[in-house]
Amino acid sequence: MDGRASAPAAGTVLNALACGTGSAFAIDAETTATVELDSSGSFDAEIADAPDADTTLIERCVELVVAEYSAEAGDEAAEISGGRVRTESEVPMAAGLKSSSAAANATVLAALDALGVADEVAREDACRLGVRAARDAGVTVTGAFDDASASMLGGVTVTDNESDELLAREPVTWDVAVWTPPEQAYSADADVARCRRVAPVAEVVADLALDGRYGEAMTVNGFAFAAALGFSADPMLEALPDVRGVSLSGTGPSFVAVGDTAAVEQVREHWSEREGTTWLTTTQNDGARTR
């Protein structure tokens, strides 16, 4: 029983580490997972081009799908007790662009596809299973339902990460510039105490996002979390005032800027002079899909 699915990366509107409310938008770069279910009794995984990376998250995703849904999958699934998963990704790992959410969503959907039940499980529920796996694997602080829902559903989402509740979702059409410096920042290592200090600002950002003022929300978020997490705000000043919004994405180190084509192309010119990778993409409104 085999399955295959892809899920997109995302950028941040509001980092949930300060007040538990978060917001993110899907971008057009994706992770693909291939799952083979079997009766081996064990769950194994491989990440293409990253032989030393931690595979706990995606192994746990397959294990949870089998535990929750194999009973619904008919006689053929009765013998299933293990499986293999392999991911291939365009999303840089631990760069603030939600590689963990894209990997979890692609893996959960591929495992559901392997069981033949992908169309019967609501995407939001599939997403919550990946969030559970992320909590179990210890790769997240809040569960990151904000990032996971943006990746699974597409568009921009606003969520309560304490109750895993979707507060808003909307398709958005923006050009996006991304700068990824040549370092990594694992979410699990973030200085949560410093993030909580900017909670009053995060509450304002949440109100802006719930009002649909995503660009302004993002920019306020960017200044607050760059300060809290010790990143320079210079990349933001290089993008302002012409972009719709610009922010540190997640716990960094990437920055994302959104706006019209001319504005983000101008941002790319500036960010290209920095060390690391600068690229242009767009928002993605379809979310994860089986293939």
Ligand X SMILES: Nc1ncnc2c1ncn2[C@@H]1O[C@H](COP(=O)(O)OP(=O)(O)O)[C@@H](O)[C@H]1O
Phi, psi (deg, nearest 5) at residue 19: -135, 5
**178 counts as binding ligand X under rule CB under 6 A:** no
- Under a CB-based contact definition with an 8 Å cutoff, are residues 105 and 289 in contact? no
54 binds, among ligand S3P, ligand X, none (CB under 5 to 8 A by kind): ligand X
Cα(158)–Cα(160) distance, integer angstroms: 7
**97 belongs to an annotated ligand binding site:** yes
**Residue 58 within binding range of ligand X, rule CB under 6 A:** yes
- Cβ proximity to ligand X: between 53 and 239 the closer is 53
On the CB side of 141, CA atoms within 13 Å amount to 21
Closest CA to 33 of 237, 289, 210, 252: 289
Among 57, 195, 206, 258, binds ligand X (CB under 6 A): 57
Q: Give the sign of the dihedral formed by CA 203, CA 95, CA 256, CA 247.
A: positive
CB of 77 to ligand S3P, least distance (A): 32
**Residue 131 within binding range of ligand X, rule CB under 6 A:** no
Contacted entry of ligand S3P, ligand X, none for residue 103, CB cut-off 5 to 8 Å set by kind: ligand X
Known binding residue 99? Answer is yes
Touching ligand X, residues 184-243 (CB under 6 A) = 186-187
Does residue 92 have a cis peptide bond before it, meaning omega lies within 30 degrees of 0? Answer: no
**Residue found by looking up tokens 């978020």 in the block:** 221
Among 13, 26, 29, 47, binds ligand X (CB under 6 A): 47
Nearest 5°: the CA angle 16, 33, 29 is 55
The site partner of 58 among ligand S3P, ligand X, none (C-beta below 5 to 8 Å per kind) is ligand X
Token readout for 105 is: 């969503």
Is 109 labeled as ligand-binding? no
Question: Is 89 near ligand X (CB under 6 A)?
Answer: yes
Question: Which residue ranges make up the annotated binding site for ATP?
Answer: 92-102
